[in-house]
Amino acid sequence: MKICIPTESKAGKKAKIYGHFGSAPCFTVYDTENDAVDIIDNSNQHHVHGACQPMGALTGKKIDAVVCGGMGARAVQKLTEGGIKTYRASGGTVEEIIKRYKQGELEELTTESACSQHNCLNEH
């Protein structure tokens, strides 16, 4: 299984989660089968709210789940339609988030629980 986590840096498992999916500087993709990470630059991080296309950077990566601090309803809908589950994690490193994911401690995102602004962590 491959889990994509938007991160602040390219520090691998020690990278901290970024607050919002579409505007993250990079994505850390964790492969549960190999205990390995792949780090991808988000070339679309600077955009008008609602106009992001972060999945373009992840094309061909066969992502199974996305764990982020927040995500808009349209992104949740598109990912869900593509068979990708979405979860919310409020802080932590990739390593910590993967542990919480494996323990079933993360909230699954729905279009109803999605963000309406980029400061969405302040809304919940």
Q: How confident is the model at residue 122 (pLDDT cuts 50, 70, 90)?
A: very low
**The dihedral of CA 66, 27, 13, 38: what is its sign?**
positive
Domains belonging to the chain, first-starting first, are 2-116 (3.30.420.130)
Which tokens is 35 given? 């205990």
Q: What is the pLDDT of residues 34-65, one digit of tens each?
A: 999 999 988 754 444 444 444 555 756 789 99
The model's pLDDT over 4-27, given as tens digits with 9 standing for 90+, comes to 999 999 999 999 999 878 788 999
Residues in the chain: 124
Tell me the per-residue pLDDT of 57-95, one tens digit each, with 9 for 90 and over.
Answer: 575 678 999 998 888 788 888 888 888 999 999 889 999
Give the pLDDT score at 94.
97
